[in-house]
Structures are given as C-alpha cells and as structure tokens.
Amino acid sequence: MEAAQAQHTALPGEQLAAAMVVRLAKGVMAPDEEIAELDALIEARFREHPHAEVIRSLPGMSARLGAEFIAATGGDMDAFGSADRLAGFAGLAPQPHDSGRVSGNLRRPRRYHRGLLRTMYLSALASLKSCPASKAYYQRQRGEGKGHKQALLALARRRINVLWAMIRDRECCHASLSAPVAA
C-alpha cells in the first residue's frame, strides 16, 4: 500500500485535461440551472394572474401549461366572447369544408394557435391519469370508434368548454363540476 501511494505518475497535459473537464462540466450544468430559474420565474409570474387559481384547479393543468394558456390567450377571455370561439382559436372546433354537392366534411381550420392546441392536448393527456371524469369521457369516445388522437382532441375540446365556464364564473374545479356529462 505504501509503495502504491508513493507512486505518482504524471502525464504531460494531465492538468490541462482536468481543467477542460471541469470547464465542460460547468458548461453542461449551467443550462440546467438556468432552466430551473426560468421555470421558477414563469411559475411565480403565472401565480400573479387573476385566473391562475381557477386554471390550476382543472385536473391535468400544471403551472407551466397554465402559463402557456395565459400566454396564448392573452389572459383576457372577454376577447373571445364564447367557448366556441376560443375552441376555434385553438383549432379544436372543426370548420365545414364543403364543395358543391359534397357536404359534411369537417376539418381543422387553416389558421389556429398551435401553442394553445398543444397546451390543451397535453392537459387532456395528463388529465387521463388524475381525473376519473376525463378518463370516462375518453373511454366513451373510444367506445364510439374514435382513435386515441381523436378521442384526446374531443377531450381537449370538452376541457376548453369547462375551463371557459370556470373562468367566466370564477369558480375552481370541484368534483361535481368535473363529473361526466352527456355531450
């Protein structure tokens, strides 16, 4: 042991390599710290909004998704006028795409806010784990023959309607509010 401890082999450039490793490690860790700081700032700013508590009470809506919802809508629900117009803005309200004798073709509008659609889609996906009413609605949509993505988009549309009503009435989500309703 003494002999092993007494041996010190030094390679040329060893100290330079060690300094480079330390510098690279700091460079890798710096963005993670910045992201954590930005997340904390976003969450703090979101909590200052008057609708923050109502939005966060909806199952599956995290602080980050709530902040994205506020950013996408501008935080002013009066600008939309109705839940249907908000759903159209999010791309969740299909528009007719008829031509001539062909009718009944419904498609997503060409112009919609992709960030808001993403926010509502992710909140619907997250609500499947935490909200029995959302899971029941999703299962009912799947039972009607819709695929996974179609059922999630239908759930996202329904959640837009619920969120609109919650913000309009300034009420947080309760078990009775999120109970499955025939749609």
What is the β-pairing status of strands 95-96 and 106-107?
antiparallel
* pLDDT tier for residue 91 given thresholds of 50, 70 and 90: confident
Which residue type sits at 130? S
User: What confidence score (pLDDT) does residue 180 get?
Assistant: 45
pLDDT surpassing 80 at residue 47:
yes
Highest mean pLDDT, choosing among 46-60, 88-102, 104-118: 46-60
Helix axes 63-73, 83-90, angle to 10 degrees: 100
Domain ranges of the chain: 15-48, 51-95+107-183
Is 112 in contact with 118 (CB distance < 8 Å)? no
pTM for the model = 0.74
User: What confidence score (pLDDT) does residue 176 get?
Assistant: 44
Among residues 83, 73, 77, 53, the alpha carbon closest in space to that of 173 is found at 53
> Which H, E and C letters describe the chain, residue by residue?
CHHHHHCCCCCCCHHHHHHHHHHHHHHHHHHHHHHHHHHHHHHHHHHCCCCHHHHHHCCCCCHHHHHHHHHHHCCCHHHCCCHHHHHHHHCCCCEECCECCECCCEECCCCCCHHHHHHHHHHHHHHHHHCHHHHHHHHHHHHCCCCHHHHHHHHHHHHHHHHHHHHHHCCCCCCCCCCCCCC
User: What confidence score (pLDDT) does residue 138 get?
Assistant: 96
Greater model confidence, 65 or 7? 65
